[in-house]
Amino acid sequence: MSHTTTMEGAAPIKLTRKDYASDQDVRWCPGCGDYAILAQVQKVFADLRLERDNTVFVSGIGCSSRFPYYMNTYGVHSIHGRAPAIASGLKVARPELAVWVVTGDGDGLSIGGNHLIHAIRRNIDLKILLFNNRIYGLTKGQYSPTSELGKRTVSTPHGVPDRPFNPVAVALGAGATFVARAFDTDTDHLQAMLRRAHAHKGTAFIEIYQNCNVFNDGAFEHLAEKKVHDERVIALEHGKPLLFGPGKSKGLRFDAHGRATAVEVGDGPGQVPVGAIACHDESVDSAGYAFVLSQLDYPTSPVPIGIFRAVERPTYEQTVREQARKVAPTGARKDIETLWRQGDTWVAGSGGDAE
């Protein structure tokens, strides 16, 4: 559990994000959303005084995957899509380390989709940050598995012909125990999500909407822009009603089949009293409710941000440890010679020792 402990012996001065920055120059394009995410991660680490030496950042390939180079922790910048595989092995081998995975929509959902869903399925205690900018940036602008249908890119001059993945729905479908969504630019909210992910025991998956100002500028401007943000985004808050819109004047209601309808909230004619709007519950045992929320999308519904689901389940590495304790209660290794002598043995000549 040492990843929840703080930096021992450190002077009780306030740590800042600079304490978690490596000496490497950050090389993302000017204006990239990744800067904001890096800053918030470093800020949260500083606030929580997390141990640099017990933390490992693992990434694959892509713009987001440069992330480990900029964190003053242990880190592996690996190969395309495979970060969850390395991170899983590392975490199972060394459960006392805090292991964070940084990936993108191409890295995590296309070439590495299989590893992502299986890491989530096993509920290995990894913190997975998926930076979703809906484009391949490092390879210069091809469409990604989260690009919108019909989008024109260098590889789809006639428009994207395939329907996009919804990362939150993918994670929920894989049985994720913690799923959240945040914006790169909404720093306070992003910090809150990172703190909750850190505190979660098990795979914590955060989709972070992120702008690529070079190849997909304005990727989420239709949601992030101030004028429309309240109307088009609904912030999920545990125990609070599903309200959105200017002054939280609207609410969501669901029919028996999970179809959402936006209603005016209030006590006036044609309005629905706030008490009749369902309260968000991130701890619902079944993933069905969270999945219904995950289907809310622009332009037919407001897009949810916040924590869709947070439930406790045994982690893979806990189960493995418990199995190990059963076969080796003291933790001491059995004598190798017992292993050599398994099964039938016999002695030849005079040099053999008696059985």
Site residues, another protein (CB under 8 A): 22, 24, 52-56, 58, 61, 68-69, 71-79, 82, 84-94, 96-97, 114-115, 118, 320, 323-324, 327-328, 333-334, 336-337, 339-353, 355
Least gap, CB of 142 to another protein (angstroms) = 20
| Closer residue to another protein (CB): 6 or 261 | 6
| Closer residue to another protein (CB): 45 or 183 | 45
| Closer residue to another protein (CB): 286 or 350 | 350
CB-neighbour burial class of residue 101 (10 A; exposed 0-12, middle 13-18, buried 19+): buried
Sign of the CA dihedral running 80, 153, 209, 166: negative
| Closer residue to another protein (CB): 149 or 328 | 328
DSSP helix/strand/coil, 144: coil
Q: Are 54 and 3 in contact (CB under 8 A)?
A: yes
CB atoms < 10 A from the CB of 293, how many? 28
Least gap, CB of 112 to another protein (angstroms) = 9
CB atoms < 10 A from the CB of 300, how many? 10
CA–CA distance, 17 with 242 (Å, rounded to integer)? 34
| Closer residue to another protein (CB): 52 or 313 | 52
Least gap, CB of 48 to another protein (angstroms) = 17
DSSP class of residue 156 equals B
CB-neighbour burial class of residue 268 (10 A; exposed 0-12, middle 13-18, buried 19+): exposed
CB atoms < 10 A from the CB of 35, how many? 15
Least gap, CB of 247 to another protein (angstroms) = 47
| Residue bearing tokens 């490596």 | 22
DSSP bridge partners of 56: 74, 99
Closest CA to 17 of 34, 39, 36: 39
Least gap, CB of 325 to another protein (angstroms) = 10
| Closer residue to another protein (CB): 282 or 317 | 317
Least gap, CB of 256 to another protein (angstroms) = 36
| Closer residue to another protein (CB): 115 or 196 | 115
Closest CA to 215 of 161, 267, 151: 151
Least gap, CB of 56 to another protein (angstroms) = 5
Q: Are 87 and 59 in contact (CB under 8 A)?
A: no
